[in-house]
C-alpha cells in the first residue's frame, strides 16, 4: 500500500495558510501606514517640472511575439482555496452556540463550498490537470479527491 499523501498535503496547506496570514498582516500594516501618512498630509512641492528643452524622438518598439498561456493545474492555487475554506469553516465553528441553522454558519459553509467549486472548476479542471506535468498532475488529482471528500 503506497504511503498516504494526506500528510504532505496537510503540511502544504499549513504552510499556505501561514503565508496567507502573513500576507494579510503585511497588507494591514501597509494600509495602516498609508492611512497615517494620508492623515498627516503630504507636503506639496511648489516647483513645477520644467518642460523638455529638446523634443524627445519617438522610438517604436519592435513587436514582440504573443506569449501563449501555459495551461497547467495550479497546485499553489489549490492550497489557497483549501486554506480559505479551512478559515471559513473555522469561523463557522465560532458560531456553534447559535445552532446549525444560524445564518452565520450557513453563510460560511456556503462560502467554503463555493471556494471548493472554484477550485474544481478553474484551477483543477480536467483540462488543466490533463495538460499539467506528471508530478503536478499527481498532486492536482489528490487535491481534487480531497476537495470532493470535503
In a domain, 35, yes or no: no
In a domain, 125, yes or no: yes
Q: What is the pLDDT of residue 147?
A: 87
Q: What is the pLDDT of residue 51?
A: 56
Q: Does residue 47 carry a pLDDT above 70?
A: no
In a domain, 104, yes or no: yes
Domain region containing 120: 75-149
In a domain, 44, yes or no: no
What's the pTM? 0.50
Of the candidates 65, 82, 69, which has an alpha carbon nearest to the alpha carbon of residue 127? 69
Instruction: Report CA-CA distances (Å) from 97 to 17, 30, 86, 101.
Output: 26, 35, 19, 11
In a domain, 56, yes or no: no
In a domain, 127, yes or no: yes
* Contact between 116 and 147 (Cβ < 8 Å): yes
Number of domains in the chain: 1
In a domain, 12, yes or no: no
H-assigned helices in the chain:
6-40, 75-94, 103-118, 126-130, 134-149
Average pLDDT (90-114) is 91
Amino acid at each position: 500500500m503506497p504511503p498516504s499523501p494526506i500528510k504532505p498535503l496537510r503540511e502544504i496547506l499549513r504552510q499556505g495558510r501561514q503565508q496567507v496570514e502573513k500576507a494579510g498582516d503585511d497588507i494591514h500594516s501597509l494600509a495602516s501606514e498609508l492611512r497615517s501618512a494620508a492623515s498627516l498630509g503630504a507636503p506639496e512641492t511648489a516647483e513645477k517640472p520644467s518642460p523638455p528643452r529638446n523634443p524627445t524622438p519617438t522610438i517604436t518598439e519592435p513587436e514582440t511575439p504573443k506569449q501563449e498561456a501555459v495551461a497547467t493545474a495550479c497546485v499553489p492555487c489549490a492550497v489557497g482555496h483549501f486554506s480559505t475554506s479551512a478559515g471559513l469553516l473555522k469561523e463557522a465553528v465560532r458560531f456553534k452556540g447559535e445552532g446549525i441553522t444560524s445564518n452565520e454558519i450557513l453563510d460560511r459553509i456556503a462560502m467554503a463550498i463555493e471556494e471548493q467549486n472554484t477550485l474544481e472548476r478553474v484551477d483543477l479542471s480536467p483540462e488543466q490537470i490533463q495538460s499539467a506535468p506528471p508530478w503536478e498532475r499527481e498532486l492536482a488529482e489528490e487535491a481534487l479527491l480531497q476537495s470532493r471528500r470535503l
